[in-house]
Chain A
Amino acid sequence: MKKLLLILLFLVSLFLSLFIFIPEGINGDLVFDFIIKIRLPETISAILIGISLSISGLIFQTILRNDLADPYIIGISGGSAFGLTLSILIFGGMGGAFFFRATSSFFLGFLTLFLIIKISKGIPEKLLLLGILTNTAFAALSRLFVLYLKPLETATINSILIGFITPLDTKETIFSSFLILLSLSITMFYFKEVDMLSFSDDEAKSIGVHIEKVRLILVLCASLLSATAVSIGGMIGFVGLIVPHLARLFKTSEFKKLFFISLLLGPSIILLAQILTKISSFKVVIPVGLYINLVGIIFFIFLFVRKSNNGS
């Protein structure tokens, strides 16, 4: 029943995203062209972003044993976005081929995360604070670079910082789908081991789980996912935070179940937010990141207050 509901939600948002709010003046054969050439790529981008952000968030929350974690909040998105900015500085325009954008955003994202985890020593409060500081610092740096760039590049960097879903061409779609599928399959391979992470490291090891290895591999997967998402849509925050929490409302704590629920919920949420941008404006394009950040911050405060009230 619940599964059906999730699939229905996804299909409805998929349908709306493709067919609703076709601009006036487009009719007849043009409608078909419009849907295939404009809406479909947008929708695919949104789905890819939704999947990668929510699974990345789920992995970070589980591995870091911190349910406020999310690729945006812990600063990895900031690192990745800065990687993109560098790529734009070096290659100009949109920042070179998607491959370079993704690679540069992966390495900077992972490097950032590595440093943040090292410095915070895994203490939850420090981790979150450092993550937010990192995001601010990287955003400031990127804005500084903007001053030296041409208007087109400035616009690109701005949309990266706000979160804006860009349609991909066929090659880019295949490449990013490949990265996402790769990370998802590796993650699926470790379903059982991830559930062992609820034990202390000593106990997990004594049950036979090579916990450092599992943790490293999964953090790499999550970083790759979030870098891919940032390369497509910039810094869209909080999806990785919200989706795993909504998934937990389905009364499960098993990683495998949370994974598949998030896989359906994540894209639905991005698609719905994307549709919202179309309701509010036919002429001005509002970046999807704005909506998601607003809702996300409220959600974050709610979780934070609840957490403090629980005294944990």
Chain B
Amino acid sequence: MVLELKKITFKFDEREILKDVSLSFNQSSINAIIGPNGSGKTTFLRIVSGLLLPDSGEIVIDRKSIREFSYIERAKIISYLSQFPSYNKEETLLEMAKKGDYPHKRLPPPPRPFCERKKIAEDFLDLKNLWDRKLGSLSGGEIQRGLIARVIIQDTPILLFDEPTNHLDLSYRLRLFQLFDKLKREGKIIIYAIHDFNISIRFKHNIFILSREGKLKQFKEDSQLIDALRETYGVDFDFAKISDFSIFYPKNENGG
């Protein structure tokens, strides 16, 4: 499966959030989108997921435009975790996560048995003791794990997450990224927005920067990345090489 963006342009209040963006995401890839506040990471994910139509350009999945899919067909291919989740406090975590199975009930066949999908979420996100708890009684991080479980249960070949590490402590961030690795080995395409890019670099995810000018570009070399970071955030960065990866940090406390 290939996910292609063809000349995507999107304007909001005259500002070009995406400007002529052409990219393709290959099977078995994990892609981190970083960028300053308000640069349009959420808009980008919503466009890729088909929730928002671009002003021009086309999202193409295996040579078929996303516009041609019905709601259910699309939900079997792309799942999306919003940064602003909404849920019913009275529901149990399992009741909520189970809703991810909806498209597979409406349009068989399911990707793999429900219990298997549930088990994956349970193992990686440590949900065994949380399934039957009401959402109103859980902490932010626990709810976030449940919301991610909903996406895992939807089990689509393309998964989009808007700041999936929100509210998660360090150990669960690592577990989430281990889960991403597993999904990658299964051939899935994962795209997520994040602010703390060091952890994405540590896991060797593809790093994309969405600039204020509406350009989206991948950076592979440390030296290129450091220039791009300075340009993006207006902060001078330095990096330290540690075995086979690097850590990026601001050079000075005042950012200059």
The count of residues in chain B whose C-beta lies closer than 8 Å to any C-beta of chain A is 30
Question: In the complex, A192 Cα to B103 Cα: how many Å?
Answer: 11
Are B103's CB and A207's CB within 8 A?
yes
Select which of B46, B90, B106 is within 8 A of A248 by beta carbon.
Answer: B90
- Inside 8 A of B95's CB, which chain A residues have their CB? 254
Assuming the A-B contacts A206-B75, A208-B72, are A196 and B99 also in contact, with contact meaning beta carbons closer than 8 angstroms in the complex? yes
Per-residue contact bits, chain A 202-220, to B (CB 8 Å; 1 contact, 0 not): 1101111110000000000
Select which of A195, A206, A248 is within 8 A of B80 by beta carbon.
Answer: A206
Are A207's CB and B91's CB within 8 A?
no
User: Which of B18-26, B81-89, B114-122 forms part of the interface with chain A?
Assistant: B81-89
**B165 in contact (CB, < 8 A):** no
Are A207's CB and B46's CB within 8 A?
no
**A27 in contact (CB, < 8 A):** no
- Inside 8 A of A210's CB, which chain B residues have their CB? 71
Are B87's CB and A198's CB within 8 A?
yes
- Inside 8 A of A199's CB, which chain B residues have their CB? 85-87, 99
B64-121 interface with A by 8 A CB criterion? 71-72, 74-76, 78-82, 84-88, 90-91, 95-96, 99-100, 102-103, 105-107
Select which of A198, A200, A209 is within 8 A of B84 by beta carbon.
Answer: A200
**A253 in contact (CB, < 8 A):** yes
Are A208's CB and B71's CB within 8 A?
yes
Are B103's CB and A208's CB within 8 A?
yes
Select which of B51, B81, B100, B154 is within 8 A of A205 by beta carbon.
Answer: B51
CB-nearest residue of chain B to A206: B80
Question: In the complex, A202 Cα to B83 Cα: how many Å?
Answer: 10
Are B86's CB and A206's CB within 8 A?
no
CB-nearest residue of chain B to A253: B90
- Inside 8 A of A202's CB, which chain B residues have their CB? 46, 49, 51, 80, 82
Are B86's CB and A208's CB within 8 A?
no
- Inside 8 A of B51's CB, which chain A residues have their CB? 202, 205-206
Per-residue contact bits, chain A 54-65, to B (CB 8 Å; 1 contact, 0 not): 000000000000
- Inside 8 A of B106's CB, which chain A residues have their CB? 208
- Inside 8 A of B91's CB, which chain A residues have their CB? 198, 253
Are A198's CB and B76's CB within 8 A?
no
Question: In the complex, A209 Cα to B154 Cα: how many Å?
Answer: 13
A114-161 interface with B by 8 A CB criterion? none
Q: How far is the CB of A255 from chain B (nearest CB, A)?
A: 10
Q: How far is the CB of B111 from chain A (nearest CB, A)?
A: 14
Which of A195, A196, A203, A206 gathers most chain B CB within 10 Å? A206
Select which of A196, A207, A248, A254 is within 8 A of B154 by beta carbon.
Answer: A207
- Inside 8 A of B85's CB, which chain A residues have their CB? 199-200, 203
Which of A200, A203, A248 gathers most chain B CB within 10 Å? A203
Q: How far is the CB of B140 from chain A (nearest CB, A)?
A: 16
CB-nearest residue of chain A to B78: A206
Q: Measuring CB to CB, which residues of chain A are less than 8 angstroms from any residue of chain B?
A: 192, 195-196, 198-200, 202-203, 205-210, 248, 252-254
Other than the known A200-B85, A206-B75, what 17 A-B pairs have Cβ atoms closer than 8 Å? A195-B99, A198-B86, A198-B87, A199-B85, A199-B99, A200-B84, A200-B86, A202-B46, A206-B49, A206-B79, A207-B75, A207-B100, A207-B102, A208-B75, A208-B103, A208-B107, A210-B71
Q: Which 7 A-B pairs have the closest CB atoms?
A: A208-B75, A253-B90, A198-B88, A206-B80, A208-B103, A200-B86, A208-B72
Q: List 21 A-B contacts (CB under 8 A).
A: A192-B102, A195-B99, A199-B87, A199-B99, A200-B82, A200-B85, A202-B46, A203-B81, A203-B82, A206-B75, A206-B79, A207-B79, A207-B99, A207-B154, A208-B71, A208-B72, A208-B74, A208-B75, A208-B102, A209-B102, A252-B90
